[in-house]
A and B are shown apart, each in its own frame.
Chain A
């Protein structure tokens, strides 16, 4: 009852699709793609706005268009897609072989493979994780959930909307509701600066006259059956509520864009080490987790700003998996990347110095005119504006990396 493959990919979103396509092109001929839902593309099909693909396809695409391009390429491969399949367990056998088991409509499945790529994506944080008190009525949705309801199923969650969180997801949903004729009362952001890309502040809020309340916090939801409004309060520099600044905003739906968390359950259960900073697995520059032969890409690895980065990581993981399958990995001695000044997170965590590496990271606090410095090799990259919400991405060549003698690679963000 075991099905044998060279490569199993868990997750059919942008990272998973890109890795399936890339692995096929690299000559991996026996690939299975396990997708939980009944369609491929992950969240792309519900992201009907443009702004996708500028890096990856060098075109401005909507989510469904981006997905369609990947699916077109997938068609010309021999990748076996198991849609509607939930992978419950990942186990590594003594010979290094991986076993993935789970369920799909009408049957249980068991897959054996030489390498696996986890591209399981992320989930959204709930109101309970950010401590929004008050009542528990209907009409409180996470942004992605609201987007699914609207753009996959044609359900309108409300007509008077308050969006909590000004990350890109929140901004895009604010505009999405405005486009359907809803009255978007405000986007409420606890930080003194917006969480999303500047272009989204302009295109999603300013163009639609949607107010952005910075340094404000939604503390309570009111309404015994349906949402009747939210209590908001101003916060000081330490994010503590300012007494007496409470206000009530009437609305019938609250949309929460309060953060994403990598879906690492499968990897964690299998024993992969998880990085507290990213919430994703610890990986080396092959995007291999601490479980040999198990790779990670996309939002399960690190929450990305751009789908392009997720797809890029998918390709990277596929190249590594292909190498492992075809020639095997030599034993590397890895150097550890260390978070220095104002660096909140960075991937990959471990560097073999045997190849060029693309780093993805975020700063801890906003700054202007800074440099991301890889200290020992004195490579620096300029960041005119550094914000926690905007991921930085740099490539360092193997030649540069080889110059390092230290066991650690210290990364700092410093003022120019």
Chain B
């Protein structure tokens, strides 16, 4: 087959973005990354624990893809985070056991890890556990130590992958919802979206929570996605004690359990709960009394001490896409030529994403009988927005001298400057949440009550739109309903019309 292969990746989460980055390396593809939200990484990728797992959790006979891709993905992330300047802490993880039964489970995990090719796993006793993590529970009798696990900033990861993809020629389509997939004579011919019709030869389904619907649109289907809700609590940066490792309980068949970890930004975080939702509640990210209580109690068991509840600055929830079969669904679908699944990306989906991307590349090579050619000018690197808060005093003075906007502090809690916000806008941010996830403005103690409007003012100025129409996360989430006299104008308008009709 000659010419460019036009590929549409549905879903700009970590899986779709990883695939787009890998495909962007080659001359053979024209890549379109399709995202329904106003920004990338706002689905499953945004609200999770942000752990790059070591790879010992998944039973290779039951879940071969999860087992293989997690361990592989961990290795690739070690490289990617350097190439793409993604905040990561390779702090290792500990699975705590509290009795002999749980210690047996640790042995199983160790065995699994070895079978999955995970390096440097070790079962350690209480004493060594306390050395590695002084705040771990006194009652823990043993732990599985996995030094290759790490903590990543998941939204930074997606933003980085997408920025790097765009720099290498990928076309990003935001606020673009797929309405239909056109298949002609058993072959993919294009995508019907809310914006246009896009002619493509290949569709990669990385649609997260909606992957089953997309698959059905292509006439493939055969599985369904169950939303599983996980609630989290985040503590203020100055809340102590923190943990220096990622701490897990021994897993159950359903879940890896509630984790205690410190995010790459330095906030202690606990979660997730695991609540299976009915299939129709794929947007339910509400926090519940029971969910948060469960998280609090479970986390309390893992550590000596949690910071006081008054130090919680935010709670949130995310949904994980549980595939009906349990394992990831990654395959070239023979039923429809050019339709490739990268779905069912439950945990360890974030970890596995880079390995999934390479697997998809292999599938494309086989399908289209390719020996893809590396782009001459492919840029491996991407740099993150320079953070004022992370600079030394000398660096700050230099930054302010070069760009006066670095001297204007917008978010006091996180020390985010106007220059960073303007740079985020230059990189494509159009909403308050986009700014928040790229710069950390509004992520501090006040959760935006003192700086959200300042961010909005900068957005309105840079995008040249009325302030009220600046949105939190795209259409329908504008910060206001109009200017301050909007209701009176509406009232006058209505009365005038009624008056006229009477006349």
Within A190-232, which residues are at the interface with B (CB < 8 Å)? Answer: 219-220, 222, 224-226
Q: Interface size class for chain B?
A: 35 or more
Give the CA-CA distance A123 to B413 in the complex, in Å: 11
CB < 8 Å neighbour of A180 from B316, B473, B487: B487
In-complex Cβ contact of A128 among B401, B447, B473, B476 (8 A): B447
CA distance A181 to B486 in the complex (A): 9
Known A36-B409, A128-B312: A108·B483 in contact at CB below 8 Å: no
Which listed residue, A108, A123, A127, A180, touches B484 by the CB 8 Å rule?
Answer: A180
A144 to chain B, nearest CB (A): 7
- Identify whether the interface residues of B are mostly helix, strand, loop, or mixed: mixed
Given contacts A107-B401, A135-B285, contact A126 B446 (CB under 8 A): yes
Cα–Cα distance between A180 and B476 once the two chains are bound (Å): 22
Contact B449 A123 (CB under 8 A): yes
Interface residue? B194 (CB, 8 A)? no
Partner of B287, one of A133, A145, A149: A133
Which A residues are CB-close (under 8 A) to B452? 145
8 Å CB contact of B404 from A106, A145, A181: A106
Q: Are A105 and B491 in contact (CB under 8 A)?
A: no
- Which residues of A have CB within 8 Å of B251? none
Q: Is the CB of B484 within 8 A of A155?
A: yes
Q: Does B478 contact A (CB under 8 A)?
A: yes
Question: Is B397 a contact of A108 with CB atoms below 8 Å?
Answer: yes
Q: Choose, from A156-164, A304-312, A373-381, A395-403, the stretch at the interface.
A: A156-164
Residue A370 lies at the interface, judged by CB distance under 8 Å to chain B: no
Docked Cα-Cα span, A104 to B449, in Å, equals: 21
Q: Is the CB of A107 within 8 A of B446?
A: no
A138 lies within 8 A of B396 (CB): no
Option from B316, B412, B476, B483 in Cβ contact (under 8 Å) with A156:
B483
Asked whether B98 is an interface residue with its Cβ less than 8 Å from the other chain, the reply is no
| Interface residue from B314, B408, B473, B485 paired with A84 (Cβ < 8 Å) | B408
User: Which B residues, 176 to 216, have Cβ-Cβ distances below 8 Å to chain A?
Assistant: none
Chain B residues contacting A134 (CB-CB under 8 Å) are: 286-287
Most buried by B among A127, A136, A180: A136
Asked if B450 is an interface residue, CB under 8 A from chain A, the answer is yes
Known A-B contacts A106-B400, A138-B478; A156 and B453 likewise in contact (beta carbons under 8 Å): no
A142 CB to closest chain B CB (Å) equals 4
Query: Smallest CB-CB separation from B288: which chain A residue?
Result: A133
A149 touches B408 (CB 8 A): no
Judge whether B453 and A145 touch: CB under 8 Å.
yes
Is B283 part of the contact surface with A, judged by Cβ < 8 Å?
Answer: yes
B485 contacts across to A, CB distance below 8 A: 156, 180
On whether A107 and B491 interact (CB within 8 A), knowing A133-B288, A138-B478, A155-B479, the answer reads: no
Instruction: Give A221's nearest chain B residue, CB to CB.
Output: B286
**A103 contacts B283, C-beta separation under 8 Å:** no
Q: With A123-B446, A126-B313 as given contacts, are A180 and B477 in contact (CB-CB < 8 Å)? A: no
Q: Are B478 and A106 in contact (CB under 8 A)?
A: no
- A180 to B312 CA separation, bound complex (whole angstroms): 35
Residues of B within 8 A of A225 (CB): 473, 476-477
> Once bound together, how far apart are the Cα atoms of A222 and B287, in whole Å?
10
Q: Which residues of A contact B18 (CB under 8 A)?
A: none
By a CB distance below 8 angstroms, the chain A residues around B478 are 138
In B5-28, the 8 Å CB interface with A consists of none
Give which listed residue, B285, B316, B484, B488, contacts A150 with CB less than 8 A: B484
B467 with A155: CB separation less than 8 A: yes
Q: Is A153 an interface residue when CB atoms closer than 8 A count as contact? A: yes
Distance between B313 CB and nearest chain A CB, rounded to angstroms: 6
A342 interface contact, C-beta 8 A? no
Which residues of chain B have C-beta atoms less than 8 A from A153's C-beta? 453, 457, 467
Which residues of chain B have C-beta atoms less than 8 A from A133's C-beta? 286-289, 292, 315
Question: Does A86 lie at the interface of the complex (its beta carbon under 8 Å from any beta carbon of B)?
Answer: yes
A138-172 residues at the B interface, CB under 8 angstroms: 138, 141-142, 144-145, 148-151, 153-159
- Answer yes or no: A237 CB below 8 A from chain B CBs: no
CA distance A191 to B412 in the complex (A): 32
Q: Is B48 an interface residue (CB 8 A)?
A: no
A371 within 8 A of B: no
| Interface check A129, CB cutoff 8 A | yes
**Chain B residues whose C-beta falls within 8 Å of the C-beta of A123 in the assembled complex:** 445-446, 449-450
Min CB distance A44 to B, Å, is 16
Output the nearest chain A residue to B480 by Cβ-Cβ distance: A155
**Structural contact, A157 and B472, CB atoms closer than 8 A:** no
Confirm or deny: A182 has a beta carbon within 8 angstroms of a beta carbon on chain B. yes
Q: CB-nearest residue of chain A relative to B291?
A: A133
Interchain nearest-CB distance for B326 vs A (Å): 28
Q: A105 contacts B482, CB within 8 Å?
A: no
The reply to whether the CB of A364 lies closer than 8 angstroms to some CB of chain B is no
Report if A271 contacts B (CB, 8 A).
no
B298-337 CB contact bits vs A (8 Å, 1 = yes)? Answer: 0000000000001011111000000000000000000000
Would A105 and B449 count as touching, CB distance under 8 A? no
Complex contacts, B486 vs chain A, CB 8 Å: 156, 159
Q: Complex Cα distance A222/B288, Å?
A: 12
Whether A181 and B491, one on each chain, are in contact in the complex, defined by CB atoms closer than 8 angstroms, is yes
Given contacts A128-B315, A226-B477, contact A103 B400 (CB under 8 A): yes
> A-facing mask of B453-469, CB < 8 A → 1, else 0?
10001000000000110
* Shortest Cβ distance from residue A283 to the other chain B in the assembled complex, whole angstroms: 23
Q: Is A137 an interface residue (CB 8 A)?
A: yes
Q: Does A124 contact B (CB under 8 A)?
A: yes
Q: How far is the CB of A136 from chain B (nearest CB, A)?
A: 7
CA distance in complex: A157, B449 (Å): 14
A319 to B487, CA, bound (A): 49
A-facing mask of B383-396, CB < 8 A → 1, else 0?
A: 00000000001001
Measured CB to CB, the closest approach of chain A to B232, in angstroms, equals 12
A108 in contact with B476 (CB, 8 Å): no
Q: A105-B404, A108-B397, A126-B447 are in contact. Are A156 and B472 (CB under 8 A)?
A: no
Does A252 touch B at the CB level, under 8 Å?
A: yes
Q: B477: which A residues are within 8 A, CB to CB?
A: 137-138, 225-226
Interface status of B147 (Cβ within 8 A of chain A):
no
Asked if B219 lies at the interface with its beta carbon under 8 angstroms from chain A, I say no
Question: Distance in Å from the Cβ of A37 to the closest Cβ of chain B?
Answer: 9
B450 touches A108 (CB 8 A): no
**B487 close to A141 (CB less than 8 A):** no
Whether the Cβ atoms of B446 and A36 lie closer than 8 Å is no
Are B407 and A106 in contact (CB-based, < 8 A)? yes
Q: Quick one: CB contact mask for A74-92 with B, threshold 8 Å, 1 for yes?
A: 0000000000101010000
**A138 touching B285 in the complex, CB below 8 Å, given contacts A128-B313, A145-B452, A181-B491:** no
B471 within 8 A of A: yes
Measured in the bound complex, the distance between the Cα atoms of B277 and A315 in whole Å is 59
Q: Which residues of B contact A151 (CB under 8 A)?
A: 484
- B405 an interface residue at 8 Å Cβ cutoff? yes
Q: Are the C-beta atoms of B487 and A103 separated by less than 8 Å?
A: no
Looking across the interface, which residue of chain B has its beta carbon closest to that of A177? B487
- B406 surroundings in chain A (CB, below 8 A): 103
In the complex where A145-B452, A226-B476 touch, is A156 in contact with B482 (Cβ < 8 A)?
yes
Contacts of A88 in B (CB 8 A): 415
Q: In this assembly, does B481 line the interface, its C-beta being within 8 Å of a C-beta of chain A? A: yes
Give the distance to chain A from B197, nearest Cβ to Cβ, in Å. Answer: 27
- Are B483 and A138 in touch, CB under 8 angstroms? no
Given contacts A88-B415, A106-B407, A158-B481, 18 further A-B contacts (CB under 8 A): A84-B408, A103-B406, A105-B404, A106-B404, A107-B404, A108-B396, A108-B400, A128-B447, A133-B287, A135-B286, A138-B471, A138-B479, A149-B480, A155-B468, A156-B486, A181-B487, A222-B286, A252-B481
Seen from chain A, the residues whose Cβ lies within 8 Å of a Cβ on chain B are 36, 84, 86, 88, 102-108, 123-124, 126-129, 133-138, 141-142, 144-145, 148-151, 153-159, 180-182, 219-220, 222, 224-226, 252, 265
18 contacts between A and B (CB under 8 A): A86-B409, A103-B396, A105-B407, A105-B418, A107-B401, A107-B407, A126-B447, A128-B314, A133-B288, A136-B285, A145-B453, A155-B468, A156-B480, A156-B487, A181-B487, A181-B491, A220-B286, A225-B476
Which 6 residue pairs across A and B have the least CB separation, nearest first? A106-B404, A181-B487, A155-B480, A86-B409, A138-B472, A142-B449
